[in-house]
Structure 1
Amino acid sequence: MNVSTTQPFQVVYSLFEHEYLGFLFESFVVQINTRGQLTFQHQNVSSKNADEFASRLDADDFKLIQLIDQIQQDAVIKKFSPKRLSVVDFFLKVYDAEKGDKPLQEKINQYVQARMGKIMELLRDKQVFVMGKDGEPTWKKLSFAPEKASVLFHFRRNEDNTHYFPTIKYAGQKLEFMYKNAALICYEPAWLMLNDIIYSFEKGIDGKKLQPFLNRKFIAIPRSIEENYYRVFVTQLVETADVYAKGFEIRTDKYTPKPQLLFSNIKAANVPELFADAITDREPDKILFELSYVYGKSIVSAAEAKKVSVDLEKTAESYIFHRLTRDTTREKEICKELGKRGLELKAGRTVMEKGAAVAWLAANLPELESKDYTIKQSDKSGKHYFIGDVAVEVGITENNDWFDIYGIVRFGEFEIPFIKLKNHILTKNNEFILPNGQVGIIPDEWFTQYIELFAFAEGDEQLKLRRHHMALVNDLQNGNLATVTMNRKLEKLREFETIEDQPMPAGFVGELRPYQKAGYNWLHFVQNYKFGGCLADDMGLGKTVQTLAMLQRRKENGAESASLLVMPTSLVYNWLNEAQKFTPNLRILNYTGTYREKNVALFSEYDVVLTSYGIMRLDAELLKTYYFDYIILDESQAIKNPDSTTSRSVRELKARHRLILTGTPVENSTMDLWAQMSFINPGLLGNQHFFRNEFLKPIEKDKDEHKTRRLHALIKPFILRRHKSQVAKELPEKIEHTTFCKMTEEQELAYEETKSYYRNKILKSLEENGPGNTQFMLLQGLTKLRQIANHPLMTDPGYEGSSGKLKEVIHKTRDVVSKGHKVLIFSQFVKHLEIIKRSLDKRDISYTYLDGNTKNRHEQVERFQKDETIQVFLISLKAGGVGLNLTAADYVFILDPWWNPAVEAQAVDRAHRIGQQNTVFTYKFITKDSVEEKILALQNRKLQLVTDLISTDETIMKSLTKEDIDNLLS
């Protein structure tokens, strides 16, 4: 019979006894009549329907209902039965007298009792009843005793045995509870029901200690087992309850606690769970501190929660229980004192890094010992640590082309050569074995301060640094980490403003712009100090002409051998043209083609040997027999993979000087930077393993700004990078537009079908396999969607519809061409360019074309630059993104965006470069309501990386979150 919420009702709690689970409660709402009396109309209330009755429930009622739900038999079975069993089957199986599951019974009991304890506390001000046998919830009313009762346990030891029994007092009067039909309705702690009154107890008495006496006057313990009984049971009772003894003695001992701090070495696997979050990948071993208090002859762990501890002493005739009450006030003062000194304890323990722990001990040990603290290493530690002063002195002296490094490390009285720490620092092992067998701990800060020094230094007996590590030497000196002695010449490296102006070579035809002249001076600057350099000016600022001017100067100064210029095949023609124009006196050997003469003796007749990366790789064994004056790599990102044959081959070549030219020193990863810097200045950034751990992972994975700044500082002296906005003030304006293209109906249908297919497939894979196994599928899906956003013909040769973007591109092209302008049209997809070609052919619009398979590349460029009838140049982004001078165009169309805006910027730079006289208009065509729009948004949000060091499609793909992927495919 349901209770009406529109009429008065009352929540009540009804006690009943379950055959297996013991006493439990159920919660009900009961209708109230006009006289304010409870009626027989009632309804069970649970968490499922409690909100219906919220008008007459308070916060405690909601807590009670939730707790009561958790102890009902169905909830218990659901929690503890892995199989779906009926109520009868579950309880008969678990609670069978002979074959029952005792451990599971105990777990269930603990679960129920924990919740019953909370329920009893919340019930004090509620209406509580005993349930009738017919299920009537308000059969008999119960009340709670307003005060707490006390229990006194009596022990009387005589010649044969020890009698043991409790007495209960309430409000100063003895409470008769034996043989009175009393019941313990909760055990942990005890709640006793007697004469319809529920009693609770001081000191949280365990109900199991009262249960035997509900129908029993005393328990007799025979002499034969009394010692064991006293040690196990009575000792525990003396600690937690009030005990009266006759026949043995209970003494209360009082002492002022003296702190004892033990420290020990532990492995990560043994770190207490409380401190599991203190474990890091870098250093699995830790130091565990454990605080104890010495009370007389007793030692009590600070982790021990109980405030009273009891020890049993057996005498000739009897027993003495020594009851020790802890001085919690003094213990708190001790913990506070240690906390102020940086030792924050949890339950009397803490875990610290070994380095930090030993440093803490060295700093605090003397003063704490003077305050009567006992601090010692635990016998179980297995290692004996040195605790004392640790210091280091490092000196660096310039010696010709090297810096010599020397130093002494002091562990107390022991002096250790600095070089002995090399392997420890590089492997991040902070334990150093001293001559006396003690373990000295290398301070944590030394790993940060000196790891680069050891990683970059050469030599096993005597440490040496190459001169190009000047930035590191400066940092060590500025940080007071080393004493440095050097000559005045090297002081010029501190600031590039001190670079001297160099005369231009007589054989140079033309004039360098001011910033180009500054670059020319810089090339001589690094040359004079025998450093390798990286000229990394923006595309179009004239890296070629600056380099040619420097090579002409080398020729006129009597260079003893030829220089080697290595570049992509597509740039050979450009270099020959530029050399003919600016340095016609340079003797240049075009060492390319199938029929090249493979004879290095020929090189002495030339000033410059010009070749491609492919030829260099094929002829590496031959080329490394010649000692070049310069080795110069153009578009040096070609060696960005340090493990590639190209990269390994070029590193084996020999030269007095090394130079690289690139507008994008980092394309895919900071490892690109390592490969190129290691070519021009070997050892500058350490070995690959070191660089990967110390720079690549922290920068790319963790976005570590400190590591990014550190790497920038190391490479800064050897890279000259100028942006067009800084130096080429004479360049005309560049105006950018974004044109949004609406998909046709047929195109939209094809797009939605593909999007749904990949969205379901990718999100399912994310759930099952995680992001690591989804990257390829994601890239595949996004590529197809991008292609359909351009034109569905790119994925479906049978598609007969049109494309919104194609219509817009052709419309804009006809408009530009009709007004006499020239336009570069870039796409990352050759298939897309083929579609554009067919559309241009239909409209009789002439064009030149370039992709990765184009052989007559320079002819295509010349035709577009000089033939006024050709106004369109179709270019694949990969083939035409670098090395082209296309200043005849003043319009640039980007047909499809991608993650890396730098790729698009390079394309625009084909037209917006030195020599351009007109304003350059850039149009980026974006298909509306497609993944292209999402890519633009993601560029702005996701590509704000720490510095310009990283700019990569691959890195972004790896860093996409599930939310990013969801947004891209929504």
Structure 2
Amino acid sequence: MTIENNKKTGLLLYPSTQWKGYGMEFRFLHPSGDAFRQGDFVTDGGDDAAINRLITLCEAVTPESIYNMAGRNTFRTQKKFFAEADASIRNYVDRIVARKVVEAVTLAAANAIPIFFKPGPKELLDANRQLHYVDEPVALHTFYRKTGEGIDYRLTVGHGIVPSSHRTAVISNEPSLFCIDDKIMHFDSSLNGNLLLPFTKKEWIKIPQRVEMEYFRKMIFKIASKIDIDSEGFDVRELHPAGKPRLFMEMVVTGDYHLRLSFVYDGKNFEAGSKKEKSVTLLDGGDSVSFVCIHRNREWEEAIAHRLTDDMHMPKNAPLQGILDWAKHYKPALDAMGIEFEQLTSKKYYIGDVRVEHDDTVVGDWFQLHIVVHFDDGLSVPLTSMRQAILNGDSLYLLPNGKSFVIPDEWKARYSPLMLFGLKKDADTISVHRSQQQLLMPLSIGDEAKAAWRADDTADDSLPTGLAATLRPYQEVGYRWMLGHLRAGNGCCLSDDMGLGKTVQTIAVILKYRAEAGAAARPVLVVAPASVVHNWRNELHRFAPHQRVIVYTGTTVHRQLLLTYADGAAVVVTTYATLRNDISMIGQKEWGIVVYDESQVFKNSDSMTYDAVASIRCRHRIALSGTPMENNLRELWTLMSVLNPALLGDENDFRSNFIHPINANLAGKNTAVLRDLVAPYFLRRTKAAVLDSLPECQDETVYCDMTPAQTSLYVAEQSRMRNLLLEHDAHSNTINALSTIMKLRQIACAPALVGSEAPSGKMAEVMERLTDLRGTSHKVLIFSEFKQLLNIVAKAMDDRGWSYAMLTGETRDREGVIDHFQNDASCQFFLITLKAGGVGLNLTEADYVFLLDPWWNHAVEEQAISRAHRQGQRRAVFVYKFISVGTLEEQILKVQDHKQSLANAVIKCMNESNEEADDTDEETPEDGKG
């Protein structure tokens, strides 16, 4: 029956008729005055684990259960089993039942469930006869008295309790459980309950003289060392030998470690907390026996314990490292006190001092470290042998002598970066490249190398005389930062917000390099998206008017001619597509500096653009990008493999040591290690942080309801996609999914993009807001990924007679179109594709930005916004992002947030959202290799 609220239950014990011990039942109890009537068996404890366990234990000791467990395979019936089973089977059953009875009693006591001896069938349970379990084991004491007829002896329990003078019953033998009056007691695990059986009816047992020696040898010798013995009429030797203290280190169930103090007197061990005052040993003299009593020196023991606990602060329970640290610290004192320290553990741990020494060598751009750990027992081990343990975060390292060394936690923090990124050139040496000198900071070593590699702090870092610009203070900081890396021989990435003048800061560095290198200066190569090549040309002419600039684009014949003049130019500007196509020629030249503008273009290490970028021969490298890591950590490795090839090591190692662990846990130690290593090579300033005069930028997400017809079209395309994915293989699924995702995005913007005449709710909202702005002094930038969507907007404007400008990848006279919008007051709207106008444009005449559709890469959106919200803007900028409700566009916003978290966690100087961008520019699509 199931237990209900306020139902009384009880555990009932009864002598078994089938075996030696006791059985038990778990029943409901019904109050009847000062007594209880036995009710039904409890069969269901609901959610109460303790009740259900009691039910299981009681069912397990029923005759049926015992027969099924031990007799069914041998005996045809239960009756024959209990009648004919031999002694070995009966003993086996006794032990099984005893363990379950002991568990049930302790469990009932712990849960305040009453325990009774079961009365006769019609008898009531007397509430005053409830049994009470004593948790602590009780001591057993024996007294032997020699007489002329033999030996008399008796047993007492606890504090002199004579079993025969009380109601005494032995419930189980092994483990022991017995009841004296209303108390259920037990011995410790070394004694069994049947020792009490002869003394339940009489106080003294007589051993005749003719069998006394046999009795002593068979019985007393077995228990003499386990119980207290007194005697009368025997030869007793009282010994007071000097003791020896011992400390045992043991593991406890919690996983911590425990120090246990004991004392040894003439081979007899006494636990520090034991109340036992002496050890009694029986000596067999052939015709006679004698007792040897070894006494403890309590005063001496207490002095030892006092010094350990009060003076030396010995921990009782502590983590392994804490115990070993204490033992190492107090080892001299323990030796002086004569205390033996013994490890009762499966592993033997090294206890002692360690000394770390290093031998360093500088070879060119490499710093070679040979770090050796010396142990005070004479053993020496190279730190590189512990590399895998440190990287895995293991606490233990097995030494060649078989002992386990506990690796200090501070070692893991100090050496993990070195082990992760340092190049292991041989078994004992780790090499660190100059670009990785951040790895040496926690080690307080390599000062000479760091000084040799560091840029000269006294070198002239004033602005170059040929710079026709006045830099703002933060721009001067950026200029000096890049110049410092240039002089130190390291690549770097200037990651300022769009509109903060990365171009003019870089031009200042180029001029400084040209001035300092003099006749030895090599041309500077600027690689940029096609959309900003002309901007670079114009900025160079504006800020460095005396430098010869070549724009390396155009037809193949024209480019070949230009390349012949490249060595005489100060700066050569080209596109990523041109570099990719002409790498066989460009790669033959030696360049002074290569500037990678919008360096996220070559983020894919499997692309031909990356191959071209990585193969350029140059002395210095500078990357410019507000979004150096748009989509994942692999892009960070790709950028650094170009700027500082040795910094992050092999791509496969980087994937296993960082990409996988960091994706699993952004807050893990690998994230911090990677962030600290790359941080010196990124400089990031936001507009809000450095431009106090920059007007406010407000953004709003405009959620647009689709029209009924648009919704039907969207839902139908979703269903079609699900069916296609179920019908095709994995490769086809990928193609179908990408195609359908694009189509769903187009339908969410305007069904006309997929050939439908269904009206668009979003386009209606956009045109309504543009109508409100029409005729005001505000100018509007209208961005979309889809050129066809801009054509739809353009047609609506044509129908209304509005003036506008449009910039796409097909626009040839880019400067003319931009000038028309910037300087013609009647041109109020500028329609731009994200690819064509996302970077390199200064459109500060606009103070409204409309983003018609979200892109997976939030950074591209931010770049588009920065066309208006940048230096030179005088008015507040208002940004509107149009999202169709209940569509994939809402999911895109969530993807943006997720990837922003990854970028922020790794590049601590980055505060902006970083997403996926295309890997090509507008000129020619690229066929990837991978």
Fold-level similarity (TM above 0.5)? yes
Q: CA 1:40–1:400 in structure 2 vs 1: closer, same or farther (change >3 Å)?
A: closer
Structure 2 distance, partners of 1:872, 1:902, is 23
Deviation of 1:912 (Å):
0.8
Find the partner of 2:264 among 260, 277, 295: 295
Q: Look up the SS of the partner of 2:463 in the other structure.
A: coil
- Please state how far the C-alpha of 1:663 moved relative to its aligned partner: 1.2
What is the CA distance between 1:822 and its match in structure 2?
3.4
Q: Note the C-alpha offset of 1:369.
A: 0.9
Bigger shift: residues 745-754 or 532-541:
745-754
Alpha-carbon distance between aligned partners in 2 of 1:798 and 1:224, rounded to the nearest angstrom: 113
Counterpart in the other structure of 2:769: 812
Tell me which residue corresponds to 1:53. none
Give the Cα separation in 1 of the matches to 2:752 and 2:151: 94
Gap change, CA 1:423 and 1:630, over 3 Å in 2: farther
Q: Which runs of 5+ in 1 are unaligned?
A: 51-64, 81-86, 264-270, 279-287, 760-775, 957-970
Q: Is the 8 A contact 1:129 1:141 kept in 2?
A: no
Equivalent residue, structure 2, for 1:587:
549
Aligned to 1:724: 687
Compared CA separation, residues 687 and 2, structure 1 to 2 (3 A): closer
Whether the 8 Å CA contact 1:411–1:440 is kept in 2: the answer is: no
Q: Is 2:355 aligned against 1:390?
A: yes
Structure 1 distance, partners of 2:168, 2:680, is 93
Q: How far apart, in 1, do the equivalents of 2:430 and 2:677 lie? A: 19
Q: Which residue of 1 aligns with 2:928?
A: none
Whether the 8 Å CA contact 1:408–1:415 is kept in 2: the answer is no
SS in 1 for 2:129: strand
Counterpart of 1:258 in structure 2 is 244
Give me the identity figure in percent. Answer: 27
Residue type of the alignment partner of 1:28: F
Change in Cα spacing, 1:22 to 1:793, as seen in structure 2 (3 Å) is farther
Structure 1 residues 169, 104: CA separation in 2 closer, same or farther (over 3 Å shift)? closer
CA gap of 1:655–1:360, structure 2 versus 1, over 3 A, is farther
Once the two structures are TM-superposed, the CA of residue 12 in structure 1 deviates from its matched residue by 6.9
- 1:324-365, Cα deviation, whole Å (9 max, x unpaired): 79899959965983898687455xx96449xx95x7665432
Contact in 1 for aligned 2:682/2:909 (Cα 8 Å): no
- Amino acid of the structure 2 residue aligned with 1:651: A
Distance in 2, matches of 1:340 and 1:598, equals: 86
CA contact (8 A) 1:659 1:680 kept: yes
Deviation, structure 1 residue 702: 4.8
1:910 aligns with 2:876: no
- Identify if the C-alpha distance between structure 1 residues 955 and 809 changes in structure 2 by more than 3 Å, giving closer, same or farther: closer
Asked if 1:110 corresponds to 2:99, the answer is yes
Q: Does residue 948 of the first structure (1) align with residue 908 of the second (2)?
A: yes
Shift, 1:191, TM fit: 3.5
Pairing partner for 1:94 from 66, 69, 77: 69
Unmatched runs of 5 consecutive residues or more in structure 2: 76-88, 723-732, 917-930
State the distance in 1 between where 2:807 and 2:287 align. Answer: 109
Instruction: Give, in angstroms, the shift of residue 93 of structure 1.
Output: 2.1
Please name the residue that 1:887 is paired with.
844
Deviations 1:685-737 (A, max 9, x none): 56657767887677665555987777666555544433222333443332233
Per-residue CA deviation, residues 934-966 of structure 1 (Å, 9 max, x unaligned), is 94997799787486356798999xxxxxxxxxx
Structure 2: distance between partners of 1:742 and 1:913: 33
1:737 aligns with 2:695: no
Cross-structure match for 2:526 = 565
Of residues 164, 167, 173, the one that matches 1:175 is: 164
Q: CA deviation at 1:892?
A: 1.6
Change (3 A) 1:627 1:371: same
SS in structure 2 at match of 1:390: strand
Q: What amino acid is aligned across from residue 504 of structure 1 in structure 2? A: T
Q: Following TM superposition, by how much is the alpha carbon of 1:634 offset from its aligned partner in structure 2, in angstroms?
A: 1.0
Contact 2:856 2:892 in 1 (8 A): no
User: Which of 68, 71, 75 pairs up with 2:54?
Assistant: 71
Partners of 1:614 and 1:302 lie apart in 2 by 82
| Cα distance, 1:295–1:412 mapped onto 2, change above 3 Å | closer
Aligned to 1:374: 340
Are the aligned partners of 2:171 and 2:179 in contact in 1 as well (CA < 8 Å)?
yes
- 1:536-615 equivalent positions in 2, closer than 5 A: 536-551=495-510, 557-558=518-519, 560-583=521-544, 585-591=547-553, 597=559, 601-615=564-578
CA, structure 1 residues 884+244, in 2 after alignment: closer, same or farther (shift >3 Å)? same
Question: Where does residue 535 of structure 1 map in the other structure?
Answer: 494
For 2:832 and 2:170, locate their aligned partners in 1 and report how far apart those are by CA, in whole Å: 92
Correspondences of 1:427-576 after superposition (within 5 Å): 428=390, 445=410, 448-449=413-414, 475=441, 481=445, 484=448, 493=457, 500-505=461-466, 512-513=471-472, 515-551=474-510, 557-558=518-519, 560-576=521-537
Q: Larger relative CO (CA 8 A, sep 6+): 1 or 2?
A: 2
Deviation of 1:116 (Å): 1.9
Give aligned pairs, total. 865
Residue 639 of structure 2 corresponds to which residue in structure 1?
A: 676
Aligned mates of 1:360, 1:713 — CA distance in 2: 34
TM value normalised by structure 2 = 0.69
CA contact 1:755–1:785 (8 Å) conserved in 2: no
Cα pair 1:926 1:933 within 8 Å, conserved: no
Per the alignment, residue 62 of structure 1 pairs with: none
1:143 maps to 2:112: no
Q: In the alignment, what sits opposite 1:920?
A: 877
Shift in CA distance, 337/626, structure 1 to aligned 2, threshold 3 Å: farther
The amino acid across from 1:815 in the alignment is D
Task: Give matches, 1:868-879, under 5 Å.
Answer: 871-873=828-830
Residues 168, 648 of structure 1: alpha-carbon distance in 2 compared, 3 angstrom cutoff:
same
Aligned in 2, Cα 1:106/1:363: closer, same or farther, shift over 3 Å? same
User: Cα–Cα, structure 1 residues 637 and 559, in superposed 2: closer, same or farther, change >3 Å?
Assistant: farther
Q: Hey, what's the Cα distance between the residues in 2 that align with 1:524 and 1:181?
A: 95
| Structural RMSD (CA) | 6.7
Partner of 1:23: 23
CA distance in structure 2 between the partners assigned to 1:439 and 1:45 by the alignment: 53
Q: 1:623-772 residue pairs with structure 2 within 5 A?
A: 623-641=586-604, 646-647=609-610, 649-669=612-632, 672-684=635-647, 702-703=665-666, 715=678, 718-741=681-704
> What code does the residue aligned with 1:24 have?
M
User: Relative to structure 1, is the Cα distance of residues 337 and 835 closer, same or farther in structure 2, using a 3 angstrom cutoff?
Assistant: farther
With over 3 angstroms needed to count, the CA separation of the structure-2 counterparts of 1:413 and 1:858, relative to structure 1, is farther
SS of structure 2 residue aligned to 1:72: helix
The alpha-carbon deviation at position 114 of structure 1 amounts to 0.9
1:353-390 Cα distance to aligned partner (Å, 9 max, x none): 9xx95x7665432232112123479999799x694562
SS of 1:813's equivalent? helix
Q: Whole-Å Cα distance in 2 between the matches of residues 366 and 4 of structure 1?
A: 64
1:823 to 780, 783, 787: 780
Residues 2-17 of structure 1: matches in 2 within 5 Å?
A: none
Assess, with a 3 A threshold, how the Cα gap between structure 1 residues 587 and 4 changes in structure 2: closer, same or farther: closer
CA-CA distance at 1:242 after TM superposition? 5.5
Distance 1:637 1:127, change over 3 A: closer
Q: Matches of 1:127 and 1:437 in 2, distance apart?
A: 53
State the SS of the aligned residue for 1:504.
Answer: coil
The one-letter amino acid of 1:370's match is: A
Letter paired with 2:55:
Q
Q: Residues 438 and 915 from structure 1, CA distance in 2 versus in 1: closer, same or farther, beyond 3 angstroms?
A: same
Give the residue type in structure 2 aligned to 1:337.
L
Contact 2:594 2:622 in 1 (8 A): yes
2:171 maps to which residue? 184
